[in-house]
Amino acid sequence: MSVLALAWKFFKRELRHGEFTLLLLSLIIAIGSLSSVGFLIQHIEYSMAAHANQLNGAQLILKSSVPVPQRWLEEARKENIEQAQMQMFTSMLVFGDEFKLAQIKAVSDNFPLQGELRIVRKNTITAAKAPPRGEIWLDLRLEEHLNERNNEKQENEQQVSIELGEFKFQVGGVLDRVPGQSSSFFSIAPSAMINLADLALTDIIQPGSKIDYLYFFSNSSASLKSGSLEAYRQWLQDKLQPGQTLRSGVEDIKAVNASLQKAGRYLSLAAMLTLLLSAVAIAINSHRYGQKQFKNNAIMLCLGCSENHILFIELIKLLLLGLVGSVLGIILGYFVFTGLLNIIETVLPVEGFSMHAKEGYYYYTLPVWTGLAAGLFLLLSLSMANLTQIKKMSPMGLIRKDVLQENISQKWFYLIAFAGLILISIWYTENVRLSLLFYLVLLISVIVLYFLARVLLDVIIKSGRYFQIINRLSLLNLERHKRAVLLQITTFSLIFSLLIVIFLVRTELLENWQEQFPQNTPNHFVINIQSNEKRQFIDFLEQNSIKTQGLYPMVRGRLTHLNQIPIMQAVPEAAREHNALHRELNLSFEQTQNQKRHHFSGTNAEISIESTLAEALNIHPGDVLGFQIGSRKIEGKVAVIRVVQWDSFQPNFYIVFSPGLIEQYSMNWIGSFYLSSGNKFKLNLLVKQFPGITILEVDEILKEVQLIINRISNAIELIFVFIVVAGALILSSSLMATLSSRMYENAVIRTLGASTGQIRHFLLVEFTVVALVSTVIAVVLAEGASYVLYQQVFQIAYVLHPQVWLGLSIISVLSISGLGLLMVNKIFTQPANQLLNQWME
């Protein structure tokens, strides 16, 4: 019989019973956990992308200050990419005898390509495409203005027409939601929408008119990565001129972008974590399998099979097992993924989060490939590490299970397994830095924690003996299993610490985001408040119960010198194109009442500068900056480099002066406040009283940002649930793998007359010690790892988490003792001779 046929025969036979089945089961669980998290991560990424496209109205948006060459659009057509257009400009709308400044959006018939354009027509909200010819749709602010006017003049809405340039439009509806809103970030004026085909009739566009041309592109898949669209994006990218930008997703919204980046890193971390958990489970079970195979292989050796022959047969068997286990694991992972998703959806409805985006599942191939690769590779390398030891042993030695010395080839296999794990993780997460950092920390930690576990265990055994707090048999039990106990402790503390890390990072991120946008986050900015209006302006807000964060002075000036050298010569060549050097900056100064905010010493003319600008222009503390404000020049020394949270929806400045330096220059004020949508009409009152001010409405965008962040938060919660489930499965499979020798020993002890209570007591002491030592080590490891992750990867402040220490102690004792006792329950229910016979087989 050929070796292959022999291997196939053994494979089939061993599948039917014993260790092979256990190994297969553990592989299915490990790969199932890995791929279920993988599927979920892909699903979240897909849903996020789909949502971003809905927000944008398309997958890709090209913005240009001039019409783009026709060839560009033809190229898209050739690639079967759908396209829509918008032209956006500011103009006067004429309501009878009244003029109102508005931002006009003229859109093509098929706008939006994705997402929903919603309008209110006769008090019902409906989804729509572009306005029909001859109609204009107004936003809420214009609509309210119109209603006020109608009330005054007793006119009926239906009869109202609005002029734009030379053309009279009928008011057809009120804009409720407009995709692509984020492209302009905020609208300075209230907006109105017309059909692009009507634009020419208004005769409003003249040579030199300032217009933004927006081109929307989409194809059938949600992911930009797939298909022709990505190729087209790259093709366009090379052709862009100044004044033209391309964007996809929600990357231009800083607040969302920062959160998305953090969420992305969290997902990567989660992916790596499940990969590692799975590797641990496979490692333990492979080790056990390798050990159990010694006897069989020794018999084969005695029967005249060569070592290489045996190893080849084992390799084929494992390859087959790896394939079967990984495929079944992936199928299991898929069902766990869809099942959990459905359960979670009914328990915890997530607004707007597409739980059933089935059409996207086609693209979820990454978890399948990584699952297969991880399953096969880890199983082979880790099992072979043990199996190759037959080369070093005599057959009788193997039968007697003599103590095995770790040999060099075994170390090589472990090294290969570790390197492979890192590679799979890089492939899986597409994040080299995070992967390398993670495994470096891991490697150091495992070494440290192994020694820590040894020391702790010795201390417990010695002090237990000295103080006689644990009875001798329990101590003996611990001592005689020292190796196995250490292996358990190392495994469990690794599993626990990974779970703590993912829990801590999750909690921090969620809290961080909640703090970022507390209720009443300002959703309107006001600029151009004159100094003489300031008092009345604040009074107006107070009378109308509008909360403001205060007003900030703004002086316009140009940065001209750095250390007395003209700025263009002083900054590095790469920085000369920086936008801040080519326009007037909004300079502010510290008002005395909150001087502490910038930590000025108060002795000199000092400046606080925003950190990214300082870095870009190579400006350091102590440098002297020169500014031109009107016709006057002014200097100040850089005292503070300040990190600005641009995503905070608060007024922020690049440059802030210390008090007493620029107060005498002409200035106006900027402020921000929160206004609920029911109070929107107050804006019209505000503008009526202060006609000179400009209001920037960011409420819509803030709402979107909050929605996206809610969604990311929910996704992070989901992942967490998955990982906890995966962790629990892997914990139990690892526990099971390390318990078999206990079954035998306790069966022997039972034949000697040990009572159930006595055996329970031994096991309980052992499990509790394992749980508590694992907890201590896990906490040390997790706090260390979170410190690095918080600082290096997530940029969030680090504190210790004593509540987690306590929580984990309770959970670990309960779970390990509970699960452990449950698993060895057989000892108490099965006749002792059956247990002994099972072992002898």
Question: How many other C-beta atoms can be found within 10 angstroms of the C-beta atom of residue 549?
Answer: 15
239 versus 472: smaller Cβ distance to another protein: 472
Q: How far is the CB of 490 from another protein (least distance, A)?
A: 19
Q: How far is the CB of 476 from another protein (least distance, A)?
A: 6
640 versus 737: smaller Cβ distance to another protein: 737
Single residue of 78, 133, 411, 480 touching another protein by CB under 8 A: 480
Q: Which stretch binds another protein (CB under 8 A): 51-59, 125-133, 620-628, 833-841?
A: 833-841
**Is position 458 an interface residue for another protein (rule: CB under 8 A)?**
no
Question: How many other C-beta atoms can be found within 10 angstroms of the C-beta atom of residue 577?
Answer: 9
**Is position 261 an interface residue for another protein (rule: CB under 8 A)?**
no
**Is position 514 an interface residue for another protein (rule: CB under 8 A)?**
no
Which residues 6+ apart lie within 8 Å of 565 measured at CB?
none
Q: How far is the CB of 301 from another protein (least distance, A)?
A: 19
369 versus 839: smaller Cβ distance to another protein: 839
480 versus 632: smaller Cβ distance to another protein: 480
Q: How far is the CB of 250 from another protein (least distance, A)?
A: 60
118 versus 760: smaller Cβ distance to another protein: 760
Taking a C-beta distance cutoff of 8 angstroms, is the pair 624, 563 a contact?
A: yes
- Token readout for 668 is 């106006």
Q: How far is the CB of 404 from another protein (least distance, A)?
A: 12
Please tell me what DSSP assigns to residue 571.
Answer: S
Single residue of 753, 802, 803, 841 touching another protein by CB under 8 A: 753
Q: How far is the CB of 507 from another protein (least distance, A)?
A: 42
Helix, strand, coil percent content, the chain, rounded in steps of 5: 60, 15, 25
12 versus 482: smaller Cβ distance to another protein: 482
Amino acid at 601: S
Q: Which stretch binds another protein (CB under 8 A): 519-527, 581-589, 718-726, 747-755?
A: 747-755
Distance of CA 230 to the CA centre of its chain: 23
**Is position 751 an interface residue for another protein (rule: CB under 8 A)?**
yes
Taking a C-beta distance cutoff of 8 angstroms, is the pair 417, 379 a contact?
A: no
Single residue of 92, 320, 448, 473 touching another protein by CB under 8 A: 473
Q: How far is the CB of 745 from another protein (least distance, A)?
A: 5
DSSP codes of every residue in 254-288: HHHHHHHHHHHHHHHHHHHHHHHHHHHHHHHHHHH
Taking a C-beta distance cutoff of 8 angstroms, is the pair 551, 529 a contact?
A: yes
CA distance 213 to 220: 24
244 versus 291: smaller Cβ distance to another protein: 291
Nearest by Cα to 229 from 54, 72, 43, 80: 80
Q: How far is the CB of 740 from another protein (least distance, A)?
A: 13
Parallel/antiparallel/unpaired status of strands 161-164 and 98-107:
unpaired
750 versus 801: smaller Cβ distance to another protein: 750
- For 630, half-sphere exposure in the C-beta direction (CA atoms, 13 angstrom radius) is 7
CA distance 610 to 653: 7
Longest dimension (CA), the chain: 108
Q: How many residues bind another protein (CB under 8 A)?
A: 28
Locus of tokens 């970030």: 185
Single residue of 145, 680, 750, 801 touching another protein by CB under 8 A: 750
562 versus 835: smaller Cβ distance to another protein: 835
Single residue of 476, 568, 707, 721 touching another protein by CB under 8 A: 476
Q: Exposed/middle/buried for 189, CB within 10 Å: 0-12, 13-18, 19+?
A: buried
400 versus 583: smaller Cβ distance to another protein: 400
**Is position 622 an interface residue for another protein (rule: CB under 8 A)?**
no
- Token readout for 83 is 């396209």
- Token readout for 251 is 């990357």
Nearest by Cα to 597 from 643, 666, 537: 643
Binding mask 384-413 for another protein (x = CB under 8 A): ----------------xxxx----------
165 versus 820: smaller Cβ distance to another protein: 820
Single residue of 373, 616, 754, 819 touching another protein by CB under 8 A: 754
User: Scanning residues 756 to 815, which ones bind another protein (CB under 8 A)?
Assistant: 756-758
**Is position 755 an interface residue for another protein (rule: CB under 8 A)?**
yes
Q: Which stretch binds another protein (CB under 8 A): 90-98, 244-252, 744-752, 782-790?
A: 744-752
Distance of CA 239 to the CA centre of its chain: 32
Angle of the 681-689 helix axis to the 140-153 helix axis, nearest 10:
70
Q: Which stretch binds another protein (CB under 8 A): 78-86, 602-610, 764-772, 826-834?
A: 826-834
791 versus 833: smaller Cβ distance to another protein: 833
Question: How many other C-beta atoms can be found within 10 angstroms of the C-beta atom of residue 600?
Answer: 20
Q: How far is the CB of 462 from another protein (least distance, A)?
A: 17
Report CA torsion sign: 392, 397, 399, 401: negative
Q: Which stretch binds another protein (CB under 8 A): 85-93, 271-279, 302-310, 476-484?
A: 476-484
- For 798, half-sphere exposure in the C-beta direction (CA atoms, 13 angstrom radius) is 15
Q: How far is the CB of 287 from another protein (least distance, A)?
A: 17
Torsions phi, psi of 60, nearest 5? -140, 135
- For 266, half-sphere exposure in the C-beta direction (CA atoms, 13 angstrom radius) is 33
125 versus 832: smaller Cβ distance to another protein: 832
Task: With residue 585 as reference, give the H or E element that holds it.
Answer: strand 585-589
587 versus 747: smaller Cβ distance to another protein: 747
Q: Is 216 left (phi over 0), alpha (psi -120 to 50) or beta?
A: beta
Q: Which stretch binds another protein (CB under 8 A): 27-35, 266-274, 471-479, 554-562?
A: 471-479
Single residue of 481, 506, 682, 711 touching another protein by CB under 8 A: 481
Q: How far is the CB of 769 from another protein (least distance, A)?
A: 16
Q: How far is the CB of 485 from another protein (least distance, A)?
A: 11
Q: Which stretch binds another protein (CB under 8 A): 182-190, 407-415, 752-760, 770-778?
A: 752-760
CA distance 91 to 104: 7
Single residue of 573, 688, 840, 841 touching another protein by CB under 8 A: 840
**Is position 831 an interface residue for another protein (rule: CB under 8 A)?**
yes
Q: How far is the CB of 757 from another protein (least distance, A)?
A: 8
DSSP codes of every residue in 691-720: TT-EEEE-HHHHHHHHHHHHHHHHHHHHHH
Binding interface with another protein (CB under 8 A): 400-403, 472-473, 476, 480-481, 745, 748-758, 828, 831-834, 836, 840
